[in-house]
Amino acid sequence: MTVDIETVVIGAGAIGLAVAAELARSGQRVLVIERHHTFGTETSSRNSEVIHAGIYYPEGSLRAELCVEGRDRLYAFAEQYGVPVNRCGKLLVATTEAEIAGLAAIEAKAARNGVTDLERLSREDVARLEPEVRCVAATLSPSTGIIDGHAFMAALEAQLLNAGGEVAFNAEVVGAAVLPGEGFRLSVSSSGDVSEWTCARLVNAAGLGASRVGRMLDGAKNDYTVPGLYPAKGHYFALSGRAPFKHLIYPMPSADALGVHLTLDMSGAARFGPDILWQNDLDYGFADADGRRASFAAEIRRYWPALPEDALMPAYTGIRPKIYPEGTPPADFAIHGEAAHGIPGFVALYGIESPGLTSSLAIGVRVAQILGQ
């Protein structure tokens, strides 16, 4: 059958753009459909901008595999296309003797994931590297870094456009159907009008909107269920004044978040976050700034006792697109192709939370493989 567009990618976040750029490079005609006026205004610009090394995730999981592969691809991409990165390294700190076992467990997990450059540091080693950090031991991850996420997405968009792809902004997918035979019909709302577009292949990279888009399509196998969305907000505080740190500083992680860490941006400014607040909606509002400032300060002083009074300013929030409810075991990235849902030519991405930014280029390659490119 004749379709309007060969491949449509829904969502112009880091994942949709990375997938689209990869598909366009392999010769497909690709259109990205994005409901906002520009790329990356949702989760891809509301995160820590950390290039993760791949140390936390269960062995054999997509998060582990795609993080390690994505990290290497991201550093190489940044060098090739002039995207600002800083391979500043990170310290994972044990602030009590009891936490040292946690360091050992993470080091072992990292080794199983192929991360072989971790280094155990004593209190004295840390004092030499970061005199203001208080801890009893730490693990140094030299391949952790930071990236300018906006510049990264701009480079992906440029690559997509150079390869003949396009992005339709202010266009929201409000309906989707599997066509008899093959292909898809999309209803796209733009400036109050709804138009119908057809495509041969479809990628759902809609982030926090992915479950909603996934449920629009019928035609999946009877035993297939679209993963549900369980939003979990994270708040960030900016540090007023200059931070006395050269590395990122992370406390021990919890089951569902990495802990209130210190991250730097490309200008050297520091922010702390994210915490975790499970919620039922997609409200980005900064909840209880005063109470939260106090709890952040207490967390931060465990590893930086000299945090000045009144130095934390509410900055922004981001929402993790989790696909498991609070209190249940964390889910892996869900990259569902025909083998999962039974719909040829359709790939859907659910639960692409951290380390999604780091993994984005590897996810692009993986989606292209599933689509047979």
**Residue 152 or 303 with smaller CB distance to ligand FAD:** 152
Nearest distance in Å: CB 233, ligand FAD: 8
- Whether the CB-CB separation of 19 and 368 falls below 8 Å is answered with yes
Q: How far apart are the C-alpha atoms of 199 and 182, rounded to whole Å?
A: 9
Q: How far apart are the C-alpha atoms of 6 and 372, rounded to whole Å?
A: 14
Nearest distance in Å: CB 89, ligand FAD: 14
Nearest distance in Å: CB 19, ligand FAD: 9
One DSSP character per residue, 150-180 reads HHHHHHHHHHHHHTT-EEE-S-EEEEEEEPS
Q: At what angle do helices 62-81 and 356-370 cross, to 10 degrees?
A: 100
Q: How far apart are the C-alpha atoms of 238 and 158, rounded to whole Å?
A: 31
Nearest distance in Å: CB 182, ligand FAD: 22
**Residue 318 or 345 with smaller CB distance to ligand FAD:** 318
Nearest distance in Å: CB 135, ligand FAD: 21
Q: How far apart are the C-alpha atoms of 259 and 308, rounded to whole Å?
A: 20
Q: Which residue is nearest to ligand FAD (CB)?
A: 356
Nearest distance in Å: CB 79, ligand FAD: 18
Q: How far apart are the C-alpha atoms of 68 and 65, rounded to whole Å?
A: 6
**Residue 2 or 267 with smaller CB distance to ligand FAD:** 267
Q: How far apart are the C-alpha atoms of 92 and 260, rounded to whole Å?
A: 12
**Residue 126 or 206 with smaller CB distance to ligand FAD:** 206
Nearest distance in Å: CB 323, ligand FAD: 12
**Residue 43 or 113 with smaller CB distance to ligand FAD:** 43
Nearest distance in Å: CB 112, ligand FAD: 20
116-119: long-range contacts (C-beta < 8 A, 24 or more apart)? Answer: 117/53, 117/141, 117/142, 117/143, 118/53, 118/55
**Residue 136 or 284 with smaller CB distance to ligand FAD:** 284
Binding site residues, ligand FAD, CB under 6 A: 10-16, 33-36, 40-44, 46-50, 52, 172-173, 205-209, 213, 234, 274, 318-320, 352-358
**Residue 123 or 212 with smaller CB distance to ligand FAD:** 212
Beta bridge partners of 140: 91, 119
Beta pairing class for 270-273 and 230-239: antiparallel
**Residue 67 or 307 with smaller CB distance to ligand FAD:** 67
**Residue 236 or 304 with smaller CB distance to ligand FAD:** 236
Distance in angstroms between the alpha carbons of the first and the last residue of the chain: 20
Q: How far apart are the C-alpha atoms of 141 and 123, rounded to whole Å?
A: 16
Nearest distance in Å: CB 8, ligand FAD: 10
**Residue 94 burial by Cβ neighbours in a 10 Å radius (0-12, 13-18, 19+):** buried
- Per-residue b or e along 313-328, where b marks 16 or more CB atoms closer than 10 Å to that residue's CB: ebebbbbbbbbbeeee
